[in-house]
Amino acid sequence: MAPPAACLIGWPAAHSRSPIIHNYWLKSLGIAGNYRIEAVKPDQFASFLGELAARGYVGANVTMPHKERALELARGDARARAVGAANTLWFDSGVLCATNTDVEGFVGNLDVSAPGWDRAGGDVLVLGAGGASRAVLFGLLERDIAKIYLANRTRGRAEALARQFGERVKPIGWEDVAAALSRAKLLVNTTSLGMKGQPPLEIDVAALPADAVVADLVSVPLHTPLLSAARARGLRTADGLGMLLHQAVGGFALWFGKRPTVNAELRALVEADLTK
């Protein structure tokens, strides 16, 4: 029998770090298996999923542009449904199931980067109201955060998320961010600001409390201006690479039966690829 395999399904088959991550874990845990990229056009995605097991796959990651369709075609859990998109598929008694591991990637990364972050009290301030923000909000709510201020350039999108996620999410205006910083024990950037080729995120980290934690979902560049400024002030930070690594743990465990750990060697391997 062929060893178990998983794949990343995307179109175009973008350069992804997932093969580096999963093949590192397979090797270091001594599991015979493999993980590869499958370029699948949107009009072939449904039939590809229908043949997933026949092609020898125990599961898959899904990326652009298939994440919403994946949720329609598989049995989504609460996380995938809340985010409105799936990034991880596996079989449970032959049924194709879907989750969104960005939720645990965000929270798991915070747990190791800033232990106790969820016991600090104070406000949480989330910037951005796109797909990444949904995963962050759901993770924060799962961890019983009482109040989350949500700011987005287009206010209507923040208000829509507040309606979806309930009264613990409070939309505020983009112009109110500066004033909200002084009470924010956790600041999370889910916008594309600070990403390579995008404008910087104009935030004065000096306005944050001295024990604040700053998380940035941007991973290119790894050291975003926001994170660099936060570190220069001595604040604890959680970066986009950490989230990327931690979101991969759950899929691997579902497919290959062992829960891997994110270690420094893996981080260095992926960091080298990100910065080359």
If binding is defined by CB under 6 A, does position 132 make contact with ligand ATR?
A: yes
The least distance separating ligand ATR from the CB of residue 150, rounded to whole angstroms, comes to 10
Distance CA 186, CA 107 (A): 12
Q: Residue 101 or 191: which CB sits closer to ligand ATR?
A: 191
Q: Residue 148 or 193: which CB sits closer to ligand ATR?
A: 193
**Rounded CA Rg of the chain:** 19
Q: Out of 19, 84, 122, 130, point to the residue binding ligand ATR (CB under 6 A).
A: 130
| 16: Cβ contacts below 8 Å, ≥ 6 apart | 8, 10, 37, 63
Distance CA 4, CA 69 (A): 24
| 165 to 66, 67, 152, 269: CA distances (angstroms) | 24, 20, 15, 37
Tokens read off for 212 = 């604040």
Distance CA 93, CA 79 (A): 20
If binding is defined by CB under 6 A, does position 164 make contact with ligand ATR?
A: no
Q: Residue 143 or 153: which CB sits closer to ligand ATR?
A: 153
Residues 142-161 that bind ligand ATR (CB under 6 A): 152-154, 157
The least distance separating ligand ATR from the CB of residue 191, rounded to whole angstroms, comes to 3
Helical segments of the chain, H only: 18-28, 45-50, 67-73, 78-83, 102-113, 131-142, 155-165, 177-180, 225-232, 240-256, 264-275
If binding is defined by CB under 6 A, does position 172 make contact with ligand ATR?
A: no
Q: Which residue is nearest to ligand ATR (CB)?
A: 130
If binding is defined by CB under 6 A, does position 128 make contact with ligand ATR?
A: yes
Q: Residue 100 or 237: which CB sits closer to ligand ATR?
A: 100
If binding is defined by CB under 6 A, does position 126 make contact with ligand ATR?
A: no
Stretch that binds ligand ATR, among 40-48, 109-117, 190-198, 244-252 (CB under 6 A): 190-198
| 170: Cβ contacts below 8 Å, ≥ 6 apart | 147, 148, 149, 150, 162
If binding is defined by CB under 6 A, does position 224 make contact with ligand ATR?
A: no
Q: Residue 209 or 225: which CB sits closer to ligand ATR?
A: 225
If binding is defined by CB under 6 A, does position 193 make contact with ligand ATR?
A: yes
Active site (catalytic) residues: 67
Q: What residues line the site for ligand ATR (CB under 6 A)?
A: 128-133, 152-154, 157, 190-193, 199
